[in-house]
Chain A
Amino acid sequence: MADEKKIKEPLINILTAEQEAVLDMYINNLDEFFNATKEFDKTQVEIETLHLKRILTK
């Protein structure tokens, strides 16, 4: 009894399998975009750091 905290509401499935797949793909797309952006920024920082090092050790 203590486990049943919520009244079970029927979850209506309104997406086709294809649409669900598209949804999943979009979520992956978002993740990839964000990771790619972060990676790019990281490399930018590394590039600038190396360039600075080069200048200082000349």
Chain B
Amino acid sequence: MMQFFRSLFGFGGSSGTRTVVGHHVPPVDIKDVGYLTASKARLDTLFHLYNRYKNTPHYPKIKSVHQKTKIIHEYLVARNRLHELELFHIQNTEHFINTFTVIMDAYESQHGIHPDPAKKGSKGRTILSSMRQESRRKAAYVEKPTEMIKPVGRQEISALRKEAGSEVPELSVPDVLINTYARIPYVEEGNVEGLPAGEIGFTSTEEEKEAFLQYVSARLGIKDLSYLGNALVHIPNSDGTYPTGLVPIIHWEGFLYALNLNDFRVFPVRIYRKSG
């Protein structure tokens, strides 16, 4: 510590690890968007949580947790330190939410009170669940579901083709095969540089899988993921390389995706089941 101050006051030579503030080159914008969404979701959860404690003497305290968390969120967002915010949430907010949600759930089920279904998760989830309800309702009417992909007429096709230049690419949902024994190491930022945070595979424990899913959930800014296993694929990186290797396969909102842990791109897949 003293060495550090000495170097600052000119008694230890210049350090050379200084950053110039004010030259704002946002390094990884996409991640930050995910962190921002995740933080807002947590604030939302805290909001709903303290409302559940309304008729308890603990209400003002839980409310103040929400308030203080919000202040921290606003402080760090204003300074564009979203990764730090995410770290804070993972180390603090998540545990608090889990603990006091479980306490409230246990109390409510003890007293035969139905847990409020409206107070579940973030806005994103309720939008998706209402969309699902919509399609369920439509299916019940045996009605053709609204086709979201606009079919184009002949003239439009040739005009678009000219624009596109070459062939219209065919997107596909390839089949992958889940490997039931191999494990992949994965690195989490904030840990010791370069060392894997953990390994994930079909044979991992529930806790390992949960930890991995929390990490992916936070990075992608989505909730309710399940982990299926790893699969051997040729997968494109954002830098143009096309390596072959094992990647984790996750389940989200009714579909399966292969996850590229280098750039966090997801690719829709299907699982190939060997028969016999």
A interface list, Cβ under 8 A from B: 9-15, 19-20, 22-24, 26-27, 29-31, 33-34, 37-38, 41, 47-48, 50-51, 54
Query: Judging by beta carbons under 8 Å apart, are B58 and A14 in contact?
Result: yes
Query: Judging by beta carbons under 8 Å apart, are B62 and A30 in contact?
Result: no
Query: Judging by beta carbons under 8 Å apart, are A50 and B8 in contact?
Result: yes
Q: How large is the interface on B (under 10, 10 to 19, 20 to 34, 35 or more residues)?
A: 20 to 34
Query: Judging by beta carbons under 8 Å apart, are B57 and A11 in contact?
Result: yes
Query: Judging by beta carbons under 8 Å apart, are B96 and A26 in contact?
Result: yes
Nearest 8 pairs of A and B residues by beta carbon: A30-B68, A11-B57, A14-B107, A23-B61, A34-B72, A26-B96, A14-B56, A12-B56
CA distance A46 to B72 in the complex (A): 22
CA distance A19 to B68 in the complex (A): 19
B interface list, Cβ under 8 A from A: 8-10, 18, 21, 55-58, 61-62, 64-65, 68-69, 71-72, 75-76, 79, 88, 92, 96, 99-100, 103-104, 107
12 pairs, CB–CB < 8 Å, chain A vs chain B: A10-B55, A11-B56, A12-B55, A14-B104, A15-B56, A22-B99, A26-B96, A27-B64, A30-B92, A33-B88, A34-B71, A34-B75
CA distance A15 to B104 in the complex (A): 9
CB-CB < 8 A to B64: which residues of A? 27
CA distance A38 to B55 in the complex (A): 35
Query: Judging by beta carbons under 8 Å apart, are A33 and B104 in contact?
Result: no
Q: Write the chain A residue with the least CB distance to B18.
A: A51
| Seed contacts A27-B68, A29-B92, A47-B8; 9 additional CB < 8 Å A-B pairs | A15-B103, A22-B99, A26-B96, A30-B65, A30-B68, A38-B75, A41-B79, A48-B21, A54-B10
Given contacts A29-B92, A51-B8, contact A13 B57 (CB under 8 A): yes
CB-CB < 8 A to A27: which residues of B? 61, 64-65, 68
Q: Write the chain A residue with the least CB distance to B14.
A: A51
